[in-house]
Structures are given as C-alpha cells and as structure tokens.
Structure 1
C-alpha cells in the first residue's frame, strides 16, 4: 500500500511530504493509521545533524492512532483498537523481562537508528529505502508500521489526537517525578527548564502532593505558564542565581528533589547544588554525546544523588493509562501544553517549535 509521509532528505532542510510504499507486515507488527503525533526535541536533533547514512528518514515518535492491520502472530491488539505508541523494546532481554524496558539491551538500535535491527525498513520511495522505524514507529506519516509491544491500547473517551506525547515527552517529565523520584506529599522540588518535559514534571509534582514547586527558566513567558499551571515559585536564572534563591525560598535548607530537563552543564550543577542533604536530582535533559558535566564530588559525598532517567523510567503499558486516568480525574491537564497543526503543515509547526511559540506541537491527520 501507499501512504503519505514527511521525509527528511538532508540536514536542516524542509521535510518533503510525499507518498511512500509500505511493505507487508512482518509477524508481530501492526499497521497504525495515525490520528495525532507530537514533535519532540529528539526529532529536532536528527533534523539538525543526522548520522551518516541516516537519511532519507521519516521521524516522529509520539504517535497515536488506530490499528488498521495486524501481522501473523499478533495477540495483544486487534483491528480497530485505539493506541498510543511509545519507545521500542525487545521484550526478551534481561532488562525487559525484569520490567526495565527503558533499559532494553537493544534500546539504541531499536530506537535511535531508524531501521529495524536487521537493517531493513518498511518504507520505500520509488524502490529506494526510506528509514521508517525511528523509535519503532516513524509516525510523521499517515500510517506507521509498529511492533505490537510498542503500542498501548487506550480507551476512547479522551480525544485520541492529543494522546501521542504521552508516549515520550510528557511521559519523560511526569515519569521522572512519579516513577524515579516518587516524592512524599509535602516535599519540596525544583524543576529546571519549562518546556513540555519540565511542565509535565511540574504537573506530576502537583499530583504527588509536593508543597513547594519551584520553576526555573530563562524565559519569563515560560515561567508565567509554569505559574499558571501551579508552580509556587518562579525563578528567571538569566537574572537571578537559582541556587541562592532556592536556598532563600526553603529557609536555607534546599529542596528535597530537583529535575534537570535540558542537560546543560551549568543547569545540571545548579539542579544538584540546590538540593538539601540528602536529596535527589533526576536529569532527563539530553544535549547529545559527549556532553561533559563537571560537578563538585563533595555534593555527592555528603548525601546528594544525581540519577539519569530514560523515558521517565516508565513501563508505557502501565504508565500511559495511569496518566490518562489522572487526566480523566482532572489532576493532570497535559492538554493545556498542546497546540495542534494539520499534518500537511508540518514545516510550519517545526518553525513554531524552533521559535518557541508553542510548548508541545501535535500534528493531526484528517479522518479518512
């Protein structure tokens, strides 16, 4: 069959929206008709600097849609199921079988290359391969070929088109708080960088019952959004020393927990140094590799912990439904982060993301 996809042909160029051929499904793969898909920082990184041999590629890894076809052996899903797509994992290694799929031994080849692990791709254009397995989905397209364990069936009482970011960006921020840090009610937390991941962490801190929630950013506009969503304090780190101000807010103690959502060296240091002892900082920001960060080992020696977090330490099959249930209860209004664009306007949406005009851009598809 044919479908329409947005193809990156070369670094830092507009995506080409064009028809591609979709191969027959392999066992345990499903074909998903996309309804919505988010734009994530990781996608932007590839647009800016694809690896050698990584183009042409269809990006996109925050998809939501409806199962249209299933391959032989599929048992977890049926045609017509509404699904949210998350990161790919093998389901067979020691980490996957120990409920640590975010640390799947094959995480990099399954998610960050763009091809299947055997080097093949389900997409072709005029007979030429187009990488179509980015994060196991390549969902900047009207259809995506997905492994069945990469798709989470969801209820249909919440609009499906806005659910895609629950599979990555929103999951990352919220999971860093609810899964990794798991703060006690009444605890204090500082969150650095108020993009979609940081704001998702903020919403999760409210769910957890944190008493003091401090938002840190260099943009007054983003800090205003954080305050509107429930931050108790806002610090513009372009004009104010965030560590000193956090110490002041907490009566000289520092916060119990912090989250770094950008990965800059000075931000990671500040997120660690603003902690009381003991205290835990979760770092989820990513600036590519290598990304050297220098910290004072004394901060660790005296009881502070710095922990890296992948995909919010989430098991998507459990955590995506949990976030949806929290939204249903009115406790996790992630929809307030989202601005939608027609899929045909993907390059306009990308420009808006680059300018910082939107918090989380989601592309929507016409109903067939």
Structure 2
C-alpha cells in the first residue's frame, strides 16, 4: 500500500460544532481502493443533520458526500478506473448482498457500516491526525477534504467535458430528486405532483417533472427565494404561511383538482408529511425523502379508506453507476436544467455556505478547492 500523504480537511471536532480546517494524513489506496483529489464537493442537508446528531465518541469527523475530482492513485485490484479519470463520488454499497441484488444498492444490507460509522469495515480510518484516528469514510468518501479514499462501487467515471466544480451534487441530491420522479413515481401528463421543500432535492424533482411532462406541479416551501426558483421550473408556488384561513390540504386539493396523484416530501417535518398524505387523491402516492422526524403520524382512516401509499426511498432508488451518467447526459441535452441552482464557494467559506443554505439564500452550495492546492 502506498504511504500516507498530508492533506487538508474541513473537520468537525464535536457534535454540532462548526467546520474548521486541519492538516491530516490520508492513507494511500489499498488494492481495492482509489485515491481521489477533490476539486469540489456539494454541501447537503444530510452532512448537517448527521453532524448535529451523532454521539461525541464518533468525532472528530470529516463529512462530505457529493465529491467530484480526479483520480490520483489506483489500487492493484481496481479495474475500469484509471489515474487521471474525472469522477463523481456517491454512496457505497457492497453490490453482492440480498438487498443490493434484489432491491438495488440503496438498500444494501451493509449500508450503515459502509456509509455512516466513520471507518472501514476492518475498523481502520482513512484519516489520522498526530497518530490518532479521524473518523471519515462518510458515504465512502468524506469529501470535505482535498484528498479522499474511495472504492470502485461509489466512484463514477464521467466525461472530462463536465465541469467538476458543478457536478458533485449529482452524487446525492440531484439523483435523489430526479430518481424519485423518473423511476419511483413516474408521473405523466395526466398526473399531478406536489413537492414539499424545494431545496436541491426538491428542485431536482421539479426539473425531472418538467422533462417528464407532468401535467400539474406544485412547490410548497416557506422560503420566498426558493419558491421563486421553483416557479421558474413551471411549478405553482405555495407558501403555507400565506394561506390565511385556508388549510394547506385544502389549497393543494384545489390546485390539483381534488388531490395530488403524487407527492414528495424533502422536509422531514412530521406535520408536513401528515398534510402531504392528506392532500393526496385516492390511491395517491407520497415518497418521503427528508431526514428529520424520527416518527410521524398519519390519518389512518384516510390512508386506508382511500388506498393511499406512503413510502420512503433511498437516493431515489438510484444506482449511481447508471443514474449519474444518465442525468449528466440529460443535462447536456438540455433536459435536466439544474446548473443554475448551484452556487460555488471557496472551501474556506464552508461555514458561510452553511449559513446561506440554512437561511434559504441559496439552493445548492458547492465548495471548491483553489487550483493551486497541493
């Protein structure tokens, strides 16, 4: 195995702490791993929610799971990935268990170990600082770093014509929203879709709905800036705080001719999820995508008597090896227009990016390393 090298990471020292920068050692790749120099990484709500909820013993930690970069070293057992390849990084999956082979990589039996615990399967960490372990391997990458160790299952080689400072979000947010519309729900011209929460995942869902020709599309959010973006994708904007005496359920049913045939929740807010289900027409479908509420309640009589379906989805049921090239091809053809919602920041401004996305001033922040970084 090649020796470790020094690299820079945006590190979190304890639960809920801000991002700070540190110099650490990153391992050279093992025979089944690759070393990627990160050019840019999308900032996702999952990075923040997990940062704020993990126990203290799982820190210090490096987050980031929408990395894009260039392969610098390749392990001897790796096939199909070469030094110099441009890549997008996504979530890990073993691709051999029952979940992977029957349901898809998002439902891997080993998801928690491969994506969330902060170390390799043998308990080792890819990063160390002063000889002490630093938790990494978040979604098999921890790409709030200048260099990362990844594996062939979550490395997607892309055409070098794509701008690496813009495409990291295809590894999570964009494929989640688009996959949910195109492959999980598959609404058409006679259908209606309501998206609750129009951050990056929600906007990707709206972009996919426009491409799919969905008849009626509604966007629900409390942020006027995000509703304005949603309107540009052809959605009817709906701010629940501006409804006065009307209920959100009544207004959605009015806009969709009696109830939505399809809905997506990205908020993870229990009360919103309940209202989203109540706003469905008979046999309507709601897909829950947002992390947040540990539990949410539903109107049991409404769900049963109207044959409604409420389900979850991991990454829009996407296989990154297929979905990322598919969406990049659609974007190149003008059929998946999400580039305009990307706002780039220098990596040193990561905490400002957190503030801006939390306040709704931007939809999808992407953090970019300087060209002259080592």
| TM-score of the alignment, normalized to the shorter chain, above 0.5 | yes
**Alpha carbons of 1:367 and 1:260: their partners in 2 closer, same or farther (altered >3 Å)?**
same
Corresponding residue number in structure 2 for 1:303: 307
TM-aligned CA deviation for residue 367 of structure 1:
2.4
**Alpha carbons of 1:299 and 1:49: their partners in 2 closer, same or farther (altered >3 Å)?**
closer
TM-score, reference length from structure 2:
0.94
Distance 1:36 1:187 in 2: 37
Corresponding residue number in structure 2 for 1:276: 281
Mapping 1:139-154, distance limit 5 Å: 139-154=143-158
TM-aligned CA deviation for residue 279 of structure 1:
1.4
Classify the secondary structure of the residue corresponding to 2:81: coil
Q: Give ranges in structure 1 of 5+ residues lacking alignment.
A: none
List per-residue Cα deviations over 1:22-48 (Å, max 9, x = no partner).
123112100001011011111111332
- Say whether 1:351 aligns with 2:355: yes
Moved over 3 A (4+): none
Q: Is the 8 A contact 2:15 2:55 kept in 1?
A: no
Correspondence for 2:133 among 120, 129, 136 = 129
Correspondence for 1:118 among 117, 122, 145 = 122
Corresponding residue number in structure 2 for 1:363: 367
TM-aligned CA deviation for residue 99 of structure 1:
5.7
Classify the secondary structure of the residue corresponding to 1:28: coil
Mapping 1:156-305, distance limit 5 Å: 156-231=160-235, 233-240=236-243, 241-251=247-257, 253-287=258-292, 290-305=294-309
* Segment of structure 1 superposing worse, 263-272 or 311-320: 263-272
**Alpha carbons of 1:249 and 1:149: their partners in 2 closer, same or farther (altered >3 Å)?**
same
TM-aligned CA deviation for residue 222 of structure 1:
1.6
Corresponding residue number in structure 1 for 2:33: 29
TM-aligned CA deviation for residue 292 of structure 1:
3.2
TM-aligned CA deviation for residue 11 of structure 1:
2.3
**Alpha carbons of 1:350 and 1:246: their partners in 2 closer, same or farther (altered >3 Å)?**
closer
- Say whether 1:61 aligns with 2:61: no
TM-aligned CA deviation for residue 239 of structure 1:
2.8
Q: Is the 8 A contact 2:225 2:360 kept in 1?
A: no
Aligned residues: 365
Distance 1:282 1:193 in 2: 13
* Segment of structure 1 superposing worse, 136-145 or 213-222: 213-222
Q: Indicate the RMSD between aligned Cα atoms, in angstroms.
A: 1.5
List per-residue Cα deviations over 1:324-364 (Å, max 9, x = no partner).
01111112111111110011222222222233221111001
Q: Is the 8 A contact 1:193 1:261 kept in 2?
A: yes
